[in-house]
Amino acid sequence: MQFDAGAALAMNLGRTMTTMVALLGLHVGMACAAAPNCAPLPLTAPNADEVSGLIRAPGAYCLGSDIRRQPKFDVHAGRTLQYAGEGLLKIECVGLCGPLPKLAYQIDLQGHALISTTQNMRGIENDGGGLGVAVRNGRIEVPGTRSPNIGIALRGEADGPGFLVGGVRCWPAQAACADVPAAKTDDGRAPQYKASNYLVEHLQIRAGWRGVQLGGGANVLRDSVIEVDSYTAAFLFGPGAIIENNTFIIHGEGERGPFDAALKLRDAHGAVVRNNKFIFKGGWFAKAPAAINLLDSTDVVIENNTFDGFNQQVRSNGASKYIVQ
């Protein structure tokens, strides 16, 4: 058998090129995997027990690990620290809050969780402002029995100036003001809202008091599972909301007031509620709230939803009009 040096050289060169191409492809793939199109979510840590996220500028952010908060004993007060709605992840608007792009803050939890075992914290909140917030792909667990406890609370200047009741300024986000219809305000007018463009999707939320609260216009809540131990899983106020493909689960207490519902909408003109599941899992003596409560919300479309365990599917209050398809 004759040895062909030229053929051998060509074969070796071919193998070398194939290996180089493979290695180059692997390197490029690794480079792409190591360089996602989002920045690491900024974290603050006064100490190991108080890690939280803080976003102060628009952009795309990814969470690289879980954020957990455990009860902390205050030696000076002689008791466990009490919280009143502090967020595990906060969005603050520094300087002018708007106008901003439709989705100015993109937050991808990347399958990670925000978990608190101490009472009455929030998972994500933007009480400092910030419009156009999108939150997706993760899990939030926050226990609590009082109104500051919310899984996701997004609101801000889009709420407008609020309204007056007995000469006192009131905002829909306040528990005492949420159920006041326009007819009972001092001037008989509903609050004015700007477009806030909040997007909440692909999340699992378990909260003690309320799962999701979104204020402003053109907000979207979709493809999420929201469980609460109280009586309202989600509260959206402002026009043009879309609520679709969610599962709302109510545990425990059930109804306590005339406006309680798994999904509460106020001033939600033109809202669409479709392809959602409403499930009530209260105890033997718990009174199931309505699945959906509308307050001063017109032209609402309620389409292809399922209801399990609720005494009433839709309850209408104030100047509300809706159709069921």
* pLDDT, tens digit (0-9, with 9 covering 90-100), for 253-301: 666 777 899 999 999 999 999 999 999 998 776 778 899 999 999 999 9
Per-residue pLDDT at 51? 79
Pair (4, 45) in one structural domain: no
- Do both 29 and 50 map to the same domain? no
Q: If residue 17 lies in a helix (H) or strand (E), which one and from where to where? A: helix 5-34
Claim to verify: residue 11 and residue 63 sit in the same structural domain: no
CB atoms under 10 Å from CB of 225, counted, come to: 17
106-158 confidence digits (pLDDT tens)? 999 999 999 998 888 899 998 666 788 999 999 999 999 888 899 999 987 66
What is the residue range of 277's domain? Answer: 41-324
Q: Let me know whether 110 and 30 are in one domain.
A: no
| Residue 21 backbone dihedrals phi, psi, to 5 degrees | -65, -45
Dmax (CA) of the chain: 106
Q: Residues 165, 93: one domain?
A: yes
Structure tokens at 147: 């109104």
Q: What is the four-CA torsion angle of 148, 282, 261, 137, rounded to 10 degrees?
A: 60
Give the CA distances from residue 145 to residues 86, 189, 309, 310, in Å, rounded to whole numbers and listed in that order. Answer: 14, 32, 23, 22
Same domain? For 228 and 277 the reply is yes
Residues 49 and 6 in one domain: no
Q: Are residues 30 and 52 in the same domain?
A: no
pLDDT at 47: 61
Give which of 187, 190, 186 is closest to 172, Cα–Cα: 190
4 in the same domain as 109: no
Burial readout 154-174 (b: 16 or more C-beta within 10 A, e: otherwise) = bbbbbbbebbeeeeeebbbbe
Mark whether 189 and 80 lie in a shared domain. yes
> 269-299: buried (b, 16+ CB within 10 Å) or exposed (e) per residue?
bebbbbebebbbebeeebebbbbbbbbbbbe
Higher confidence at residue 4 or residue 184?
Answer: 184
Dihedral angle sign, alpha carbons of residues 62, 217, 247, 228: positive
Together in a domain, 31 and 45? no
Q: Are residues 63 and 28 in the same domain?
A: no
Q: What is the domain count for the chain?
A: 2
Identify the DSSP state of 132. Answer: S
pLDDT value at 32 more than 60: no
Q: What is the pLDDT of residue 80?
A: 61
Structure tokens at 127: 């009480």
Instruction: Give how far Cα 50 sits from Cα of 41, 87, 120, 123, Å.
Output: 16, 11, 15, 13
Q: Say which residue the tokens 């326009």 belong to.
A: 182
